[in-house]
Amino acid sequence: MDENKDKITEELTENEALTEDTQYSEQIAEELTEDAAQVEEAVAETAEETAEAAAETADNAEEAVDGAAEEVTETAEDTAEAVTDEAALSEIEAPKKKPMLQKTIVISLIIVCLAAIAAVVIGLFFNNDVTGTWHLVRQVEVSSEAATSDEAGNKLNVDYYFTFNKDGSVTSTIGTVTGKGTYTMSKDENGNNVINMNMYDTLTQYFLNGDYTVEYSGNIFTGKKMKFTMADNAERNYEFESASYKAPELKREGEFEKNDELVGKWVYSTGEFNLIYEFKEDGTAAYTEQAMTINPYTYTPINVDIEMRGIYSVKDSTVTISYYFLEQSDKDITVKADGDVLYINNYPFVREGAATPDQLQQAQTVAAQQ
């Protein structure tokens, strides 16, 4: 029993010790809890203080940035105003110089304009060029073939219109008859202008062939003039005046009746000369002679190229071509149409571009047999 009592006493002692331990543990836990709460509170206070400090720092930084920005802006504005004032002052005090290239271009344009103005002035007030149309009045002794009975043996004033083209070609027109030729310009040893003419005169033949010294005078207000002088022949001096050509009016008897078989251009060619007739739907006509001959005065080849323009009418097999030379004259031809061949005074003229060489040869053979 004593053993049980001791045992019970021992257990009670152990239980008391455990109770004391438990109480001590609870005390420690309470202390730890209080410490944790204090730590947590301290941490919270520290975090709050840190956040407030950070916010204050941010506000201060923002204020500093705004202040710096304002200072920069003010500085930039002051600088810009200063630069503007300085630039304005520079423009007033020292104008900006133009580049040399720009000056060169301006000077070049001025020179070109002055040259153009000078050329116009020279062209208007002075005449120094053969090109253009010129009127020449020439006294010509009229032969019995080209004049009426009371004019034969007398001299007539014949109106020539010469047109000199830039390509070296020249025409001489009397009425509606035009001769064609060529010319060249050069300088003699004294620097004078010299023209060489090579053309066939439709009235007196050859009269303008050869070399002439050319002199210009006058202007558009007083009239431009030109003089040809042949050094070794005082009689061959010709004075021209600038003019424009107007064809004489040709009179027709009755109404024109078109003949479709005649309309077209008809050519007769032998290799030595060409004869060409052209009849148009409106009643106008042209006749051309082209050949090469020898100038009996210079013994040099000369090209004969004469065109006669006029109007035509048809009656039966006769075609009458009216033209103007010294006066209105008529030229009668007989015609016979055969497709692309038109027999004119029994010579086979072939429609231009229609007949082959064989057809032309056949037509000429037929004509020779007639």
Q: How confident is the model at residue 39 (pLDDT cuts 50, 70, 90)?
A: very low
Query: 362 or 240: whose pLDDT is higher?
Result: 240
Task: Give tens-digit pLDDT for 149-166.
Answer: 455 457 888 999 999 999
pLDDT at residue 320, rounded to an integer: 96
Q: What is the DSSP letter of 3?
A: H
Specify if 25 maps to a domain: no
Task: Give tens-digit pLDDT for 108-141.
Answer: 788 887 877 766 555 555 557 899 999 999 887 7
Q: What is the mean pLDDT of residues 203-222?
A: 83
Specify if 56 maps to a domain: no
Strand (E) or helix (H) holding 288: strand 284-294
pLDDT at residue 185, rounded to an integer: 95
pLDDT at residue 271, rounded to an integer: 82
Most confident stretch, 58-67, 99-108, 229-238, 300-309: 300-309
Percentage of residues in the chain with pLDDT exceeding 70?
Answer: 61
Q: How far apart are CA 318 and CA 336, in angstroms?
A: 9
pLDDT at residue 289, rounded to an integer: 94
pTM of the model: 0.62
Structure tokens at 239: 């004075």
The CATH number given to whatever domain includes residue 142 is: 2.40.128
Q: What is the mean pLDDT of residues 308-321?
A: 96
Structural domains in the chain (count): 2
Structure tokens at 141: 């002794």
Looking at 212, 242, 272, the residue that finishes a domain is 242
Residues in the chain: 370
Task: Give tens-digit pLDDT for 249-280.
Answer: 999 988 899 999 999 999 999 888 899 999 99
Query: 76 or 303: whose pLDDT is higher?
Result: 303
Q: What is the mean pLDDT of residues 310-324?
A: 96
Half-sphere exposure for 57 (CA within 13 Å, toward CB) = 6
Looking at 242, 273, 294, the residue that finishes a domain is 242
Q: What is the mean pLDDT of residues 239-247?
A: 93
pLDDT at residue 336, rounded to an integer: 95
Half-sphere exposure for 131 (CA within 13 Å, toward CB) = 6
pLDDT at residue 113, rounded to an integer: 79
**Residues 233 and 298 placed together within one structural domain of the fold:** no
Query: 209 or 211: whose pLDDT is higher?
Result: 211
Query: 24 or 128: whose pLDDT is higher?
Result: 128
Query: Is 308 strand, coil or helix?
Result: strand
Half-sphere exposure for 203 (CA within 13 Å, toward CB) = 28
pLDDT at residue 201, rounded to an integer: 78
Task: Give tens-digit pLDDT for 54-102.
Answer: 445 545 545 544 554 455 455 545 544 544 555 454 454 444 555 666 7
**Residues 140 and 236 placed together within one structural domain of the fold:** yes
Per-chain mean pLDDT for the chain: 76
Specify if 183 maps to a domain: yes
pLDDT at residue 204, rounded to an integer: 66
Specify if 61 maps to a domain: no
**Residues 314 and 213 placed together within one structural domain of the fold:** no
Quick one: CA torsion of 250, 256, 260, 264, rounded to 10 degrees? 10
Q: How far apart are CA 348 and CA 327, in angstroms?
A: 30
| Domain around 297 | 264-369
Q: How confident is the model at residue 300 (pLDDT cuts 50, 70, 90)?
A: confident
First to last CA, the chain: 193
Q: How confident is the model at residue 364 (pLDDT cuts 50, 70, 90)?
A: low
**Residues 210 and 171 placed together within one structural domain of the fold:** yes
Looking at 242, 274, 306, the residue that finishes a domain is 242
The CATH number given to whatever domain includes residue 314 is: 2.40.128.360
pLDDT at residue 109, rounded to an integer: 83
